[in-house]
């Protein structure tokens, strides 16, 4: 087991600097949406009152966008979602609670008639991945045959992020 290079006070300070919003991936998704002409809210009342407090809300399309960090939200089979070697049981439990909460929030959004797009940050790491994501963005936001036809839209083909399905 590798020990932490920081003492607990320094580690706490470092972790307190991890951003919760306005991250580079989130800003990138907002920029892409804006480039396509979509209008959205970031800190509006809808964002705070919807389950999961979505990163981006597109009211016209009743669509929410969640930009999930692979580590914090436990992206399955992703190289960026490794459990730390220090206190692995604690981290597994924490990340599993995050995954459960995320799944519950997506189901609640669906029950309220909202669409959800989950974007994993690993899918925005290279220009090629960003280009591929951008190409699917209008379909993700608007659906393949109109507004409100797909209850959950994911930016990663073939993956259903709801734990209960």
- % of the chain exceeding 90 in pLDDT: 59
Q: Is the separation of the CB atoms in 34 and 88 below 8 Å?
A: no
Tell me which residue of 68, 160, 159, 67 sits closest to 110, measured CA to CA: 160
Pairwise CA distance, residues 132 & 157, whole Å = 11
Lowest mean pLDDT among 49-63, 76-90, 99-113, 144-158: 144-158
pLDDT value at position 3? 67
Give the C-alpha distances (Å, rounded to integers) separating 44 from 34, 58, 74, 87, 119: 17, 11, 27, 37, 20
Does the structure show a pLDDT above 60 at 147?
A: no
Domain boundaries, the chain: 20-154
> What is the phi/psi pair of residue 118, to 5°?
-105, 120
**Which class is domain 20-154?**
alpha beta
What residues are paired with 63 via a beta bridge? 58, 115
pLDDT value at position 163? 37
């Amino acid at each position: 087991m590798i020990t932490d290079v920081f003492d607990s006070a320094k580690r706490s300070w470092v972790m307190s600097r991890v951003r919760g919003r306005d991250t580079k991936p989130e800003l990138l998704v907002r920029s892409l949406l804006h480039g396509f002409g979509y209008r959205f809210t970031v800190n509006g009342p809808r964002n705070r009152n919807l389950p999961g407090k979505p990163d981006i809300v597109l009211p016209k399309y009743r669509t929410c966008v969640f930009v999930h960090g692979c580590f914090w939200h436990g992206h399955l089979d992703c190289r960026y979602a490794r459990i730390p070697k220090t206190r692995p049981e604690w981290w597994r439990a924490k990340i599993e609670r995050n995954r459960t909460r995320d799944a519950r929030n997506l189901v609640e959004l669906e029950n309220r008639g909202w669409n959800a797009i989950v974007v994993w940050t690993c899918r925005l790491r290279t220009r090629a991945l960003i280009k591929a994501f951008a190409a699917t963005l209008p379909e993700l936001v608007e659906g393949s045959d109109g507004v409100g036809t797909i209850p959950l839209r994911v930016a990663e083909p073939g993956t259903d992020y709801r734990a209960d399905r």
